[in-house]
Chains A and B, each alone.
Chain A
Amino acid sequence: MNKHRLSYVLLFIVLGSSTGAFLGLGIFTFHYAKGSSYFTNDPQACVNCHIMQDNFDSWQMSSHRLTSTCNGCHTPSDFIGKYKTKAIHGIRHSWGFTTGYFEEPLRIKQDSLDVVEANCRQCHGAIFHATDPLASPSSSRTCTSCHRDVGHMR
């Protein structure tokens, strides 16, 4: 019995220390990669990876720089939608950037475009009420089809 107990203790020590080591490494990596910045609204978080630098730079020169951030246009405004989008994009982007498997020039995906479109309408809704040029359900046009550079250069 004593012998059994001893080996259990040993086993737990090994399991515990390996879990601990992994946790430590994980926390450090999370910190090093500025993981917590992704829970903020700070546009600086979006240029943690240099790939968005051009978009960031041109946003600072754009008409929307004072009224909207990256999240303002690219994530839904409700809490759940926002973090769901952040999670999906986070996984997608980190996979692409880490492995290098992504196509350039970068193109917005339909689900992201829908988010942007909804955000345009949320602020500029009044303009749409009189005549919605995009009302036709078959229309693939979006606000940004014409207003291409309002957020940043594309």
Chain B
Amino acid sequence: MFQKFRNLSRTRILLLSVFFSSLLALGVSALLVNIMEKRNEARHTYLTIAPIDDDEENPAEWGKNFPLQYEGYRKTVDQVRTRFGGSEAIARTPSQVDPRSVVAQSKLEEDPRLKDLWAGYAFSRDFREERGHAHMLIDQIYTERQQAVQQPGTCIHCHASTYVPMKKLGEGDLQKGFEIINKMPYQEARTHVQHPVTCIDCHEPKTLSLRVTRPAFMEGIRAFKATLGEPNYDVNAKASRQEMRSYVCAQCHVEYYFKGPEKRLTYPWAKGIKADQILAYYDELGHKDWERKLSGAPVLKAQHPEFELWSQGVHARSGVACADCHMPYTRSGAMKISDHHIQSPLLNINRACLTCHKSTEKDMQERVAIIQNNHFEMRNLAMDAVLALIKDIERVKESASPERLMKARDYQRKAQFLLDFAEAENSSGFHAPQEAARIMLKAVDYSRQGQNSLHDH
């Protein structure tokens, strides 16, 4: 060995030692640079490239300063199915009236009973699974419901970025712009908007802090807080950051109605935000969305009461916000950012659930499946019960006394709304499983009482 070493020429020894020491130096300096880079990552979190003011609604401009958030935001075009939700990309042939080549699956085709339930209402014409935020405007412009009935401008509130348009219409006064846009026909209102929901709908441009921009939510949450003994609630002044991480979503993911002939957007929360409290509010007001064909009942259509149902669940009770699961924190270098690719937590279980739940992705998926499968089973039973009452009313509507009929129709209205509340809510029961079950059980009970009111003598 030693002999061998001696036999090596000196040049070779020299070359070898140079080689190895350069390798070591390379490794150490690479480490040094890596440490430096990581330190710098931790230092720079934000760089203003394009100054943003309170009239900038173009998300691409905001995206120059916040490329990571913008990249996530743009991913909301994705269409991915989950067992009960999500949206599947369905190809369609574009037509003159509807140029879309891709839509989501039709819920009416998935469950034709919905068509029956909503007979006489535009929703029985076209009702599809919601796609991601990026599609909200185009999907509303081209839904067949637009052809069924002249829709009011009120609808645009939550299907477009309306903060800047409302300010412009109100000449700087958001509230005034809100009142103006409510009264417009939809086709006119849509000419004032350009984007689906964008950065400025939730963020204040100077500090990027969260901000509520929808007057209807400001009013709604004020009315609700008053029922809890907190009058004159100003959401933008009083809500904590964690509350805001739900409230900005709740600006739109709620039950609402169009009040009076001017179709003013209103959130029915003055008696509380539970389904039956909302129903009681509508009953007191005598509001109906439409009269159901054939049975003649003055019925209501629940919209998408995610905020209301979530509020009754264990996650809300534990202080978990919408954004915690739908926009979970993700790491990019040293930066912790909210994932702006808003989507079903089931598509991102690792970040959405496992940050708090010390479990596996598979286990979480199974837990959700149990809840949602149970919900689906109950929803189907409740829907059959409500439809059974409707069929009974239709059958005897010529022969039954007006008092009996009125009573039965009122039960239909109640039962149908509660069922619809649990059905239209977009978590398939997950946001508050027991509350959803309670509502549906009540719907079944109202259906039973309604049938009894027709039959007993």
Contacts and interface: CB of A to CB of B under 8 A. Distances in A.
A49 B22 CA distance: 28
Given A11-B13, A105-B350, A22 B28 contact: yes
Interface stretch (A26-34, A65-73, A119-127): A26-34
A105 B351 contact: yes
Contact of B14 (A14, A26, A50): A14
A14 B17 contact: yes
A28 B32 CA distance: 9
B32 A25 contact: yes
B34 interface: yes
Chain B facing A: main interface SS? helix
B25 A25 contact: yes
Interface in A92-110: 97-98, 104-105, 107
Contacts of B35: 29, 32-33
A58 B225 CA distance: 31
Given A50-B334, A104-B331, A11 B10 contact: yes
Contacts of A107: 358
Contact of B21 (A22, A49, A105): A22
Given A29-B28, A105-B350, A105-B354, A14 B10 contact: no
Contact of A14 (B18, B24, B28, B36): B18
A29 B36 CA distance: 10
A87 to B, nearest CB: 17
B77 interface: no
A15 interface: yes
B167 to A, nearest CB: 38
A21 interface: yes
A122 B274 CA distance: 50
B150 interface: no
Interface in B4-50: 10, 13-14, 17-18, 21-22, 24-25, 28-29, 31-32, 34-36, 38, 41-42
A131 interface: no
Contacts of A21: 21, 25
A29 B32 contact: yes
B151 to A, nearest CB: 44
B357 to A, nearest CB: 10
B355 interface: yes
Interface in B337-382: 350-351, 354-355, 358
A7 interface: yes
Interface residues of B, number: 26
A26 to B, nearest CB: 5
Given A11-B10, A105-B355, A25 B21 contact: no
B336 to A, nearest CB: 8
Given A18-B18, A105-B350, A49 B38 contact: yes
A154 B22 CA distance: 43
A84 B120 CA distance: 75
A97 B37 CA distance: 12
A41 interface: no
Given A18-B21, A104-B331, A97 B38 contact: yes
Contact of B25 (A22, A49, A105): A22
A113 B220 CA distance: 48
Nearest to B10: A7
A19 interface: yes
A138 to B, nearest CB: 19
Sorted from nearest, which 9 A-B pairs have the closest CB atoms?
A18-B21, A50-B42, A29-B32, A50-B334, A25-B28, A105-B355, A33-B35, A22-B24, A15-B17
24 contacts: A11-B14, A11-B17, A14-B17, A15-B17, A18-B18, A21-B21, A22-B21, A22-B28, A25-B25, A28-B32, A29-B32, A32-B35, A50-B38, A50-B42, A50-B334, A97-B38, A98-B34, A104-B331, A104-B350, A104-B351, A105-B350, A105-B351, A105-B355, A154-B358
Given A11-B14, A25-B28, A50-B38, 14 more contacts: A14-B14, A15-B21, A21-B21, A21-B25, A25-B25, A29-B28, A29-B31, A49-B38, A50-B42, A50-B334, A104-B331, A105-B350, A105-B354, A105-B355
